[in-house]
Structure 1
Amino acid sequence: MKSVILASQSPRRRQLLEQVNIPFSVVPSSVEEIVDNTLSPADIAMSLAKQKADEVFKRYPESVVIGADTIVVAQGRILEKPSDVQEAYSMLQVLSDVSHSVVTGVTINSHEKTVTFYEETIVHFYPLTHEEIERYVSSGEPFDKAGAYGIQGLGAALVKKIEGDYFTVVGLPIAQVVRTLKKFDIYQTSSN
């Protein structure tokens, strides 16, 4: 069986692949991401996922490589990972009491084929007070996450409801990934 490589150092993506018993190794992409802001959010997420997968695939052409990228879109703005406390605070103010879109693009590459797709989930936040935002930002959780929150961590307390796939918000639409990997003859292993 071909080896599977996750082209991401995200611990959340790693946990999701482990959760569904897909054997894999991690080789983070070192590509300098190029964003074409004329594209739709879905196309941007898929383009970034493909850039990551392609870069790692060039180094490991006998493997099946999974690249992924998650973006948060609110009020027509793409909210990337915040660079500092003020930016994290500002992003959370934007998300307070509104719905936003989380799009995760995925590319799976092998020598035989490449499949690229995306999933989109709508997330509704509760109204957030100044104190709630400050407390959450001071936890440190927002800083390595698009949109400045992690739904799988302390950020769960900010979310009123979601419409769509929870795992898309975490960073990898795992059910769709598992189904797509079957096209590459990669299957889940038995439980240990």
Structure 2
Amino acid sequence: MAHLILASGSPRRQELLRQLGVDFSIVSPDIDESVAVNEQAAIYVERLACEKAQAVLQQHPDAVILAADTCVSISNQIIGKPRDKQHAFEIWSLLSGRCHQVLTGVCVMTAQQQHNVVVSTDVEFQHLSLHEMDAYWASNEPIGKAGAYAIQGIAARFIPCIHGSYSNVVGLPLHETAQLLKAVGLLD
């Protein structure tokens, strides 16, 4: 049986993948994650997941590669990771009191086959006060997170409900990932 490689340095993805009970190693690819002109969020995350998988497959052609990419989108606008405190406040002002989508593209690739899926979850955010934003920034949790928040952390208090996969919002939709791993024979 081929060895599984997770093409991600994300501790959250690693923790989620462990929940599926599979053995894997980690190789973090270095690819350009720029958004193409007029690129839709679903196309963006699927493209990046496939590019990450391909980059690692070139180094490990006998392995099964699992790659994913997650973004936050609101009104067809891709929301990235905060550059600084001011940018985080801009993101939260945009998300505050509204519903947004978290999309994850997942790609499982071998030298012989490729299976992809894009999963979308609707996330409702409460209205955030400047005091709440300031306190959340001070926690350091938003740094490096798509949409400037982590649902599995302090930000859970700002989210009254989600519609869809919770693990998708964390960074790896487990049900769909399990189906892709089944398709290549790594899960029963």
TM range (shorter): over 0.9
Q: Which amino acid aligns with 1:47?
A: R
- d(CA) in 1 for partners of 2:185 and 2:32? 30
- Give deviations 1:63-122, integer Å, cap 9, x for gaps: 000111001012332110111111112111111100001100011110120111100000
1:168 partner SS: helix
Distance 1:34 1:89 in 2: 22
Question: In structure 2, what is the equivalent of residue 20 of structure 1?
Answer: 20
Distance 2:67 2:37 in 1: 20
User: Could you tell me which residue of structure 2 aligns to residue 143 of structure 1?
Assistant: 143
Structure 1 match to 2:47: 47
Corresponding position of 1:113: 113
Quote the Cα distance in structure 2 between the aligned partners of 1:37 and 1:172: 26
Map of 1:166 onto structure 2: 166
The alignment-based identity, stated in percent, is 37
- 1:155 is displaced (CA, Å) by 1.0
Deviations 1:122-163 (A, max 9, x none): 000011111111101111111111000000111111101101
2:65 counterpart SS class: strand
State the alpha-carbon separation in 2 of the partners of residues 20 and 121 from structure 1. Answer: 20
Counterpart residue number, 1:155: 155
Runs of 4 or more above 3 Å deviation: none
What is the aligned length?
188
Shift of 1:38: 2.4
Q: Does 1:31 align with 2:27?
A: no
Alpha-carbon shift at residue 34 of structure 1 (Å): 4.3
Give the alignment's Cα RMSD to 1 decimal. 1.1
Q: 1:56 maps to what in 2? A: 56
The one-letter code sitting in structure 2 at the alignment partner of 1:16 is L
| Mapped partners of 1:2, 1:135: distance in 2 | 46
Aligned-partner Cα distance in 2 for 1:97–1:74: 12
TM norm structure 2: 0.96
* Alignment pair present for 1:79 and 2:79: yes
Q: Deviations over 1:16-49 (max 9, x none)?
A: 0112211111100112234323232111110011
| Whole-angstrom distance in 2 between the partners of 1:83 and 1:39 | 21
CA distance, structure 1, for counterparts of residue 34 and residue 60 of structure 2:
22
TM-score, length of structure 1 as denominator length: 0.94
Counterpart secondary structure, 1:86:
helix
- Amino acid in the other structure paired with 1:181: L
Residue type at the aligned position of 2:45 = A
Q: Flag structure 1 segments of 5+ consecutive residues without an equivalent.
A: none
- Please tell me whether residue 68 in structure 1 is matched to residue 68 in structure 2: yes
